[in-house]
Amino acid sequence: MFSKKTMMIVSVIILVTVNIIVLSISGKHRYSQSTLGRISLIAVSPFQNALTKTIDFAKDVWGHYFFLVSTAEENIRLKKKLGQIVQQNNQYYEEILSNIRLRSLLDFRQSMPFESIAAEVISVDPSLWYRTLVVDKGKAKGVKIGLPVVTPEGIVGQVIDTADNYSRILLIIDQDSAVDAIVQKNRARGIIKGASSNQCILKYVMRRHQIDTGDSVVSSGLDGVYPKGLPVGYVSKINLSGSELFQEIQVTPYVDFRKLEEVLVLINH
């Protein structure tokens, strides 16, 4: 079967051919209008009319075709341009957020009486049991094992390994971490240990101490690692069941470790 496009082209050719033949015949025989001229006019007119409509239709079809092609190309170009603009906007937005975080970190750094180094988090340990991260500063910048790591929100952890340009940080939510801490309002002392689900436990707090949810917990400065008074977290749950000597206190860290991007390593404290 022939396509519609082929049939249209064939029809146009036939009409043109017939029109030429009829016009040729009428041109060779100059009879009066009452005879062959009239017959030729009657015979040719329908063909000429059909040919004119066909040509106009063909022009219209081709015009629409090229318009659609041009529109499709313009659409592709505009989509590409839109994608570039969206990407640029995302980059600008990330730069704005980064500048806000760095400004906060710089202000915090200037307010502290300790020398510190700003470092960027470059990887996070994917393990659920061993909570560490790696930063882009190491021995070349004076980072040593045992140094505390903080943010404006609170304590992050301490350095447990270093290379020339990298350091590994053990987070306070790791079960091997320990921070000597006190409840800020009544100075009740305990040890912050890491627990599951980004939480900590304040252990060894005597039951005689009145602890309430929402109480702030800070570093005591007695462990020789973290300076006194650094924010750790707030009391989110208290368990007084059983006859143990100590309370079991859940502490939610002030630092959101899932969103950590920049930190400060305290050099001299």
Which CATH number belongs to the domain containing residue 178 in this structure?
A: 2.40.10.340
Is residue 99 domain-shared with residue 124, that is, in the same domain? no
Is residue 197 domain-shared with residue 126, that is, in the same domain? yes
Is residue 137 domain-shared with residue 102, that is, in the same domain? no
Helix axes 4-28, 36-111, angle to 10 degrees: 140
For residue 94, the tally of other CB atoms under 10 A from its CB is 10
Nearest CA among 185, 189, 221 for reference residue 206? 189
Is residue 209 domain-shared with residue 83, that is, in the same domain? no
| Domain termination residue (choose one: 66, 90, 111) | 111
Is residue 75 domain-shared with residue 128, that is, in the same domain? no
* Cβ-Cβ contacts under 8 Å for 146 (sequence gap 6 or more): 158, 159, 225
Nearest CA among 162, 160, 149, 155 for reference residue 180? 155
| CA–CA gap between residue 105 and residue 113 (Å, rounded) | 14
Sign of CA dihedral 216, 221, 223, 224: positive
Is residue 10 domain-shared with residue 105, that is, in the same domain? yes
3-state secondary structure of 208: coil
Is residue 134 domain-shared with residue 62, that is, in the same domain? no
Nearest CA among 265, 258, 267, 233 for reference residue 149? 265
Predicted confidence (pLDDT) per residue in 148-199, tens digit: 999 999 999 999 999 999 999 999 999 999 999 999 999 999 999 998 678 9
| CA–CA gap between residue 43 and residue 19 (Å, rounded) | 9
* Site of tokens 């689900």: 197
| Domain termination residue (choose one: 90, 111, 132) | 111
Q: What is the pLDDT of residue 78?
A: 78
Q: In sequence order, what DSSP letters do the residues of 63-87 get, joined into one string?
A: HHHHHHHHHHHHHHHHHHHHHHHHH
Phi–psi pair at 218, nearest 5 degrees:
-130, 165
For residue 187, the tally of other CB atoms under 10 A from its CB is 9
Q: How many domains does the structure of the chain reveal?
A: 2
Q: Domain range spanning residue 2? A: 1-111
Which segments of the chain have a pLDDT < 50? 30-34
Is residue 119 domain-shared with residue 104, that is, in the same domain? no
Is residue 101 domain-shared with residue 25, that is, in the same domain? yes
Pairing of strands 189-194, 200-206: antiparallel
Is residue 168 domain-shared with residue 255, that is, in the same domain? yes
| CA–CA gap between residue 251 and residue 234 (Å, rounded) | 5
Is residue 48 domain-shared with residue 152, that is, in the same domain? no
Q: What is the pLDDT of residue 31?
A: 45
Is residue 44 domain-shared with residue 132, that is, in the same domain? no
Q: What is the pLDDT of residue 32?
A: 45
Phi–psi pair at 194, nearest 5 degrees:
-70, 150
Q: What is the pLDDT of residue 269?
A: 66
| Domain termination residue (choose one: 111, 127, 149) | 111
